[in-house]
Chains A and B, each alone.
Chain A
């Protein structure tokens, strides 16, 4: 079976800064791939490259065998790659339901309004926001807004979901709930590519992990391999025993 997403040698410079240099990786169907690394390592930039917000200087991105390099974000969604934003971008003047309906309307299946609203309601139930459907997106808490981001992306019926720090800023209970949501998403057959700083969560959720540092891929492998990698410990994790502390069943 071929990979769902195949990224080969992508590079992007902002002026003199090599934001991402020569990064390659792939995501298999049904897989959860984690992306970790220090602040400023280029993780969100890599997301922006995959979904077409930024155009790359070099490299190739292939999704389901189709070359999607430098395709604009709206086309990438139609092909089946949806994402959330680290800094949440709710459509503030609209209700929660309308926000998610937008995702369903303009997502992979380009649903018309009525089925889109039905889809949106179902997704809202899935992420636990159904009782807030008619409230304004502005009035949600940060945890609610993170869920809204996930719901909107899910409503697009993606095959691959990019989650950009959906756990950041949540309290432990909310983190647990979000982890359940992410497991549910994978359970429904959607592949997940996620950036996260909450180490315990990402170590336990991910099938594999890619580590980025100064725009370059530092390591890639199973969570326990990555957590024991001396380079990764030096650049990011900081604690040689972290693997044993974080991995529940390691």
Chain B
């Protein structure tokens, strides 16, 4: 059976839209040499290098303790960015990965006497797999319903851990001093965990960059813009969302394992600090969601502000009020955060940064 002849058919062959011959003037369509040539990659390396070198030089412990919190904030914000900024799914319970990672890591490193790095990586893998399981369930939901479900996950995990005997219920677990012996005693162990946390921070930023520049990342951004359209364009949104939810759990869990090992103790209220989960969102909004540099900038700046407020005598109980006010100001006047504001001032910056 051949199509019926018609005026349309006759015209088709002769009048096909001409393919333009001015290809030379078109923008370059290929990828510019992968992420290794990307300025943000080098920025991350330099930044992480300075974070390690400056406090190490002169054994500045006070500075190290400040910077480790900055690094954790950047880790949390960067990985939360994969969900909120890249995929458009607000996760109110992101801290659950950090806390669970802390528990699993601490359990493996102290009760089971595993090597710290191995324990932290195993914590990451375990929590990622768990997140995949949660994700398959709750990622059927969209928008506000998904956001609510993430609060549910946080509360549920919190209650479970608070009643879980092997992890010490609500009193939590402690690290005995002997546990630091394999790393050469507590003093050295603190420096080693610090350096490992900085490495995790750098990996978080590089991972964000790599995903953003990948086909997978393009699919995520399409889901963020319009999930229905994305599916019609061929993206298996359910699988993409479950994978990124799981990926966004990995490095926070590794960081949690390192941090709670370093702190020497963990209990449910510090592992699953609800406020920190919400503040992660403030960090992203402040810096600029969807961008690698924005998430890092927002995380770092917010953490410094928070520490300053918490330690100042007059404002110490005031920091959440200021966080709320800041969020309001950013949403109203700079919806793209600091990076969005920078792009508006200097559109060229976008070419260089991302």
Q: Which residues of chain B are near A204, meaning CB under 8 Å?
A: 6-8
Task: Spot the interface stretch: B13-21, B75-83, B326-334.
Answer: B13-21
Q: Which residues of chain A are near B17, meaning CB under 8 Å?
A: 126-128, 180-181, 184
CB atoms of A222 and B4 under 8 A apart = yes
B133 within 8 A of A: no
CB atoms of A89 and B226 under 8 A apart = yes
Q: Binary interface profile of A, 103-139, with partner B (CB < 8 Å = 1, else 0)?
A: 1011100101110111011100111101001100000
CB atoms of B3 and A188 under 8 A apart = no
Q: Which residues of chain A are near B219, meaning CB under 8 Å?
A: 102, 105-106
Contact check: which of B4, B12, B29, B225 meets A120 at CB < 8 Å? Answer: B29
Task: Spot the interface stretch: B46-54, B175-183, B233-241, B244-252.
Answer: B233-241
In the complex, the 9 A-B pairs of residues with the closest C-beta atoms, listed nearest first: A106-B234, A91-B225, A77-B234, A89-B229, A31-B3, A184-B17, A184-B16, A117-B29, A187-B16
CB atoms of A208 and B218 under 8 A apart = no
Contact check: which of A101, A188, A223, A248 meets B218 at CB < 8 Å? Answer: A101
Q: Which positions 38-53 of chain A face chain B at CB distance < 8 Å?
A: 51, 53
CB atoms of B225 and A93 under 8 A apart = yes
Q: Binary interface profile of A, 149-187, with partner B (CB < 8 Å = 1, else 0)?
A: 000100010000000000000000000000011011011
Knowing A127-B17, A130-B26, the reply to whether A32 touches B3 (Cβ < 8 A) is yes
A146 within 8 A of B: no
Knowing A28-B3, A73-B232, the reply to whether A94 touches B215 (Cβ < 8 A) is no
CB atoms of A206 and B8 under 8 A apart = yes
Contact check: which of A72, A102, A130, A134 meets B222 at CB < 8 Å? Answer: A102
CB atoms of A94 and B225 under 8 A apart = yes
CB atoms of B236 and A74 under 8 A apart = yes
Closest to B17 in A: A184
Q: Binary interface profile of A, 61-79, with partner B (CB < 8 Å = 1, else 0)?
A: 0000000000011100110
Q: B-contacting residues of A (Cβ < 8 Å)?
A: 1, 3, 28-32, 51, 53, 72-74, 77-78, 83, 85, 89-94, 97-98, 101-103, 105-107, 110, 112-114, 116-118, 120-122, 125-128, 130, 133-134, 152, 156, 180-181, 183-184, 186-188, 204-208, 222-223, 248-249
CB atoms of B27 and A113 under 8 A apart = no
Q: Which residues of chain A are near B226, meaning CB under 8 Å?
A: 89-92
Task: Report Cα–Cα, A91/B222, bound state, in Å.
Answer: 6
Task: Report Cα–Cα, A107/B231, bound state, in Å.
Answer: 11
Task: Report Cα–Cα, A130/B3, bound state, in Å.
Answer: 32
Nearest Cβ in chain A — how far from B45, in angstroms?
Answer: 24
Nearest Cβ in chain B — how far from A221, in angstroms?
Answer: 9
B302 within 8 A of A: no
Task: Report Cα–Cα, A121/B20, bound state, in Å.
Answer: 11
The number of residue pairs between A and B whose CB atoms lie closer than 8 Å in the complex comes to: 153
Nearest Cβ in chain A — how far from B1, in angstroms?
Answer: 5
B2 within 8 A of A: yes
Contact check: which of B6, B7, B30, B236 meets A118 at CB < 8 Å? Answer: B30
CB atoms of B231 and A73 under 8 A apart = yes
Task: Report Cα–Cα, A108/B23, bound state, in Å.
Answer: 25
CB atoms of A113 and B215 under 8 A apart = yes
Knowing A73-B232, A74-B231, the reply to whether A183 touches B12 (Cβ < 8 A) is yes
A-B contact list, 8 entries, CB within 8 Å: A3-B1, A89-B229, A103-B234, A112-B215, A113-B31, A114-B30, A134-B27, A156-B233
Q: Of A93, A223, A249, which is in contact with the most chain B CB atoms at under 10 Å from its CB?
A: A93
CB atoms of B215 and A133 under 8 A apart = no
Task: Report Cα–Cα, A199/B230, bound state, in Å.
Answer: 31
CB atoms of A207 and B8 under 8 A apart = yes
Q: Binary interface profile of B, 196-233, with partner A (CB < 8 Å = 1, else 0)?
A: 00000000000000000011001101101110111111
CB atoms of B8 and A186 under 8 A apart = yes
Task: Report Cα–Cα, A152/B230, bound state, in Å.
Answer: 11
Q: Which residues of chain B are near A208, meaning CB under 8 Å?
A: 3-4
CB atoms of B225 and A156 under 8 A apart = no
Q: Apart from A94-B221, A187-B13, what are 18 other A-B pairs with CB-CB below 8 Å? A: A30-B2, A73-B232, A77-B233, A77-B234, A92-B225, A97-B27, A98-B221, A103-B234, A107-B233, A114-B30, A114-B31, A118-B29, A125-B19, A125-B23, A133-B27, A152-B233, A204-B6, A208-B4
